[in-house]
Structure 1
Amino acid sequence: MLDSIDVKILALLQSDCTLPVAEIANRVGLSSTPCWRRIQKLEEEGYIKARVALLNAEKLNAEVAVFIAVRTSQHNADWLGRFQDAVASMPEVVDFFRLSGDIDYLIRVALPNIKAYDEFYKRLIKLIDLSDVSSMFAMEEIKSTTELPLGFVTMKGR
């Protein structure tokens, strides 16, 4: 279970994982060594999955976001395994979810243009049989973040 200092450390790291330990320690009211130990423990316990750089999609020619909704009548382990493997093998896929409701799966891909999407789609349907696919192109990114809300964390002493 986390305490309020752990939550503050997580908030700082998810905002900027390049902050030096000394700066994080200063901001949360610890000295560097105990702060470093807490960060190590948060990593070991799986609260911190990775420390990454967020790249600029436009500068890297991957600014077209396509959301692909998939409905299927295939609800068996063999098909699901092949579908998951096919989608996971495609580097353009940045998010892949199994959903409840009318849509079974939602895939988000990052591509340079619509032609690249058409090529992606043709590769995908060669790998796996799909029955109902609907694609939506994002016109404008209004909010996109990797920062998780930390207000739901159950803390020690609460």
Structure 2
Amino acid sequence: MKLDAIDVRILEILQQDAEQQVTQVAEQVGLSTTPCWRRIQRLKEAGVITRQVALVDARKVNVGVTVFVSVRTSVHTEAWFDTFKATVQAIPEVVEFYRMSGDVDYLLRVVVPDIAAYDKVYKRLIAGTQLHDVSSSFAMEELKLTTALPLGYVG
């Protein structure tokens, strides 16, 4: 799907506040309500907008500790990967999970209330699969957190 400047502006607006009424978005992009609504629907149908969610303050729901977990393995079979992936996906405290290039095979972002809670996550992680090395780094301070993607590359 080819995005034009109005589509990009709609995406910028919705990434900041998806609760805005279509009339409000339309005003900001210089369209009437119906064409703006159609564009938003087209963006959803094309999979550009994948979902709309509520962002929750981690501290207010007692998961204010962020842990970055680097995992290395010496096993690279499909069966091992399927087991590892299922293990990680079954742990709700793991909020991001990536396969990496370089020295680390996988990177996880885990949110928990404290170190004791992380220890329980760690034990579930290592019980589920054979791992070569697991390294955990606790974030001391959150300096930037956004869900908004940069849209300057569209085109």
TM-score band w.r.t. shorter chain: over 0.9
Q: Which amino acid aligns with 1:4?
A: A
Q: Deviations over 1:81-108 (max 9, x none)?
A: 1111110111101100000001110000
1:141 counterpart residue number? 142
1:116 counterpart residue number? 117
- Share of identical aligned residues, percent? 56
| CA distance, structure 1, for counterparts of residue 44 and residue 86 of structure 2 | 27
Unaligned runs of 5+ in 1: none
State the TM-score, normalizing by the size of structure 2: 0.98
1:46 counterpart residue number? 47
Unaligned runs of 5+ in 2: none
| CA distance, structure 1, for counterparts of residue 125 and residue 134 of structure 2 | 11
Is 1:152 the equivalent of 2:139? no
2:37 counterpart residue number? 36
Say whether the 8 Å CA contact 2:74–2:131 is kept in structure 1: no
| CA distance, structure 2, for counterparts of residue 80 and residue 122 of structure 1 | 18
| CA distance, structure 2, for counterparts of residue 93 and residue 32 of structure 1 | 39
1:6 counterpart residue number? 7
1:20-31 alignment runs, 5 A limit: 20-31=21-32
State the TM-score, normalizing by the size of structure 1: 0.96
CA drift of 1:135 comes to 0.2
| CA distance, structure 1, for counterparts of residue 68 and residue 150 of structure 2 | 23
| CA distance, structure 1, for counterparts of residue 42 and residue 86 of structure 2 | 32
| Structure 1 runs of 4+ with >2 Å offset | none
1:129 counterpart residue number? 130
CA drift of 1:34 comes to 0.7
| CA distance, structure 1, for counterparts of residue 62 and residue 131 of structure 2 | 28
CA drift of 1:71 comes to 0.8
| CA distance, structure 1, for counterparts of residue 125 and residue 107 of structure 2 | 14
RMSD: 0.6
| CA distance, structure 2, for counterparts of residue 84 and residue 153 of structure 1 | 32
CA drift of 1:80 comes to 0.6
